[in-house]
Amino acid sequence: MNLQHKKVLLCITGSIAAYKSILLLRLLVKSGAEVQVVLSASAANFVSPLVLETLSKKPVLQDIATGSSWANHVQLGRWADVMVVAPATCNTLAKMAHGQCDNLLLAIYLSATCKVLVAPAMDEDMWHHPATQANLETLRNFGVQLADVSYGELGSGLVGMGRMQEPEQLLLDIEELLLKKASLAGKKVLITAGATHEKLDPVRFLGNNSSGKMGIALAEWFYLHGAEVHLVLGPTHLLPKYAGIQVLNVGTAAEMFAAVEQNFSTSEITVCAAAVADFTPIKSYDKKIKKEEGKQEWELVLTKTTDILAYCGMQKLKHQLVVGFALETDNALANAHKKLLSKKADAIVLNSPSPTTGCNSDTNEVFLLTGDAEALHFPLGNKQDIACKLVEKFIELYDNKK
């Protein structure tokens, strides 16, 4: 529900890609947004107003004037937090760029005080035409945000550039446009997340079941606060939602440490959320380890890995904030407090494994420990919401250092 309390004007123009706008509308509503749909005359040939009205729970607006009533275009552009034109045809783009005003959508655009996002959709030759490219440049200079077009099958049957961006990506673009703040602009944030895989032989490793969900959620919220985010991510099938987050994929604890070592000194905030292996095999085999006839036991010698959080705690300068995590099963608060001191962290996020909390679940319940102050409790909630609150707290701690 990232878009709760946000107001979106979804303007649909006449392209075959209009069918994707129905999915976008659904995603916006699911994300908590209030959506007012505006439909151009030709768009109504591609999508039914009834579908859009049912999904948005509002009458669809099509004309400036209907009978004796008229749609107040100035008010609409002020009501909305963002005006999204998706799909935007070549014709609408050209009219927007040249200030023409012969329909409701254009009247709203010309008087809009809100942010504007445009998702073009057209055939490849129209897309590459210098007139279209010049119009796009004009709109960019007006401050309009342009969604990328993608390559693929087009309405004409040709294959090329010009497909409208997929609704899921458009939702992320809208979220980024509406939620991104500048509180951490120009600041670098370093995060470790996920498990590590300590190699035994070409097909086996020692690992744990950390998914990286919590660290990825933290990276996303730091990104939405405007930070330059570097995410050192252990093996996982998950990735952060926003392409602007720089992901450094690593496998082993040693690789994770090397990535942190390279980035730590230039980072203002470092959060070690990864479940790093404490030990790694002293030897990893090039060939698959085979069973030996008659041998019932096999000894594995392990050696300690570098404690990345402790390294950051030791190296940190006065202005740098270092936060760690603690996964505890017993004496949780006391053990977490010990980690805070021994690793010289500024704060520790304590969580405990249970079916609804810890490594691989979608929800978590945590305590934030800072020095001698009483631990702050964040009750059970989804990891996205907890990450959002934690990041706000981390920023507060960072600001207090100045």
Measured from the CB of residue 210, what is the shortest distance to ligand CTP in angstroms?
9
219 binds ligand CTP (CB under 6 A): no
CA distance 312 to 323: 9
For residue 136, which phi and psi values (nearest 5 degrees)?
-65, -40
107 binds ligand CTP (CB under 6 A): no
Q: Which is nearer to ligand CTP, 154 or 350 (CB)?
A: 350
Q: Which is nearer to ligand CTP, 62 or 252 (CB)?
A: 252
Q: Tell me the window of 23-31, 222-230, 270-278, 378-386 that interacts with ligand CTP (CB under 6 A).
A: 270-278
309 binds ligand CTP (CB under 6 A): yes
> Whose structure tokens read 């045809």?
89
341 binds ligand CTP (CB under 6 A): no
CA distance 271 to 391: 10
Q: Is the peptide bond before 87 cis (omega within 30 degrees of 0)?
A: yes
Q: Which residues pair with 349 in a beta bridge?
A: 325, 368
DSSP 8-state secondary structure symbol assigned to residue 266:
G
60 binds ligand CTP (CB under 6 A): no
Contact 36, 61 (CB under 8 A): yes
351 binds ligand CTP (CB under 6 A): no
Q: Which residues pair with 304 in a beta bridge?
A: 279
Look at strands 145-146 and 115-120 and give their pairing. Answer: parallel
CA distance 143 to 191: 32
Q: State both tokens at 206.
A: 């020692």
Q: Tell me the window of 9-17, 67-75, 99-107, 324-332 that interacts with ligand CTP (CB under 6 A).
A: 324-332
276 binds ligand CTP (CB under 6 A): yes
327 binds ligand CTP (CB under 6 A): yes
Contact 274, 196 (CB under 8 A): yes
Q: Name the active-site residue from 91, 208, 335, 382.
A: 208
272 binds ligand CTP (CB under 6 A): yes
Distances (CA, A) of 323 to 269, 326, 347, 369: 8, 10, 5, 10
308 binds ligand CTP (CB under 6 A): yes
Q: Tell me the window of 53-61, 68-76, 197-205, 321-329 that interacts with ligand CTP (CB under 6 A).
A: 321-329
First to last CA, the chain: 33
Q: Which is nearer to ligand CTP, 299 or 330 (CB)?
A: 330
Q: Which helix (H) or strand (E) holds 87?
A: strand 82-88
116 binds ligand CTP (CB under 6 A): no
- Answer for which of 324, 346, 367, 388 binds ligand CTP (CB under 6 A) is 324
- Answer for which of 9, 326, 340, 347 binds ligand CTP (CB under 6 A) is 326
Q: Which is nearer to ligand CTP, 93 or 272 (CB)?
A: 272
> Whose structure tokens read 């979220």?
175
- Nearest residue to 188 (alpha-carbon basis) of 238, 248, 228: 228
253 binds ligand CTP (CB under 6 A): yes
Q: Which is nearer to ligand CTP, 165 or 210 (CB)?
A: 210
Measured from the CB of residue 367, what is the shortest distance to ligand CTP in angstroms?
13
Active site residue 208: yes
Measured from the CB of residue 116, what is the shortest distance to ligand CTP in angstroms?
42
- Answer for which of 89, 92, 132, 305 binds ligand CTP (CB under 6 A) is 305
> Residues in contact with ligand CTP, total (CB under 6 A)?
15
DSSP 8-state secondary structure symbol assigned to residue 388:
H
CA distance 334 to 312: 22
CA distance 118 to 9: 12
H-type alpha helices, 307-382: 308-315, 332-342
Q: Which residues pair with 124 in a beta bridge?
A: none
Measured from the CB of residue 308, what is the shortest distance to ligand CTP in angstroms?
3
Measured from the CB of residue 195, what is the shortest distance to ligand CTP in angstroms?
11
Count how many Cα atoms sit within 13 Å of the Cα of residue 100 in the half-sphere of its side chain: 11
Q: Tell me the window of 138-146, 149-157, 272-280, 388-396 that interacts with ligand CTP (CB under 6 A).
A: 272-280
Residue 277: exposed, middle, or buried by beta-carbon count in 10 A (0-12, 13-18, 19+)? buried
Binding letters toward ligand CTP, positions 167-206, x by CB under 6 A = -------------------------x--------------
Q: Which residues are catalytic?
A: 208
Residues contributing to the site for ligand CTP (CB under 6 A): 192, 253, 272, 274, 276, 278, 305, 307-309, 324-327, 339
